[in-house]
Amino acid sequence: MKKYYVYIMTNFSGTLYTGVTNNLERRVQEHQSGKIQGFTKKYKITKLVYFEEGNDINEALRREKEIKGWLRSKKIALIESVNPDWKDLSKEWIDLPPEI
């Protein structure tokens, strides 16, 4: 069964980005390498701080939209509920260059 992920990434200054994908490792690597043009490349969004997994693309898209509509404080509370130290969750499975 295919998996879908809603994720939140950030940068050195705490800018938040919420997205959805069916391959979290690949997508995070794309953000980190700057392959994705636009917001995440411009603001150097490279640190994965939150994700949730599901089996339904429609539910994942609904959840992404829901989170994007939240105030920043609610997004921070969500992140800190599972990752209080804002660790880069991708460091367990991706070799990253040192942070700038």
CATH code for the domain of 40: 3.40.1440.10
**Assigned domain for 82 exists:** yes
Query: With contact defined as beta carbons under 8 Å apart, do 45 and 31 qualify?
Result: yes
User: Which of 21, 19, 9, 26 is closest to 64 using CA atoms?
Assistant: 19
**Assigned domain for 97 exists:** no
Per the DSSP assignment, residues forming a β-bridge with 47 are: 10
Could you list the residue range(s) of the whole structural domain that residue 55 is in? 4-92
Q: pLDDT digits over 17-53, tens only?
A: 999 999 999 999 999 998 888 999 999 999 999 999 9
Q: Position 54: which residue type? A: G
Q: Tell me, what's the pLDDT at 97?
A: 53
Backbone dihedral angles phi then psi of residue 20, each to the nearest 5 degrees: -135, 145
Query: With contact defined as beta carbons under 8 Å apart, do 17 and 6 qualify?
Result: no
Query: How many domains are contained in the chain?
Result: 1
Residue that the structure tokens 């939140």 belong to = 8
- Alpha carbons 71 and 84: distance in angstroms, whole number: 18
Q: pLDDT digits over 84-97, tens only?
A: 999 999 987 765 55
Q: Tell me, what's the pLDDT at 91?
A: 87
**Assigned domain for 23 exists:** yes
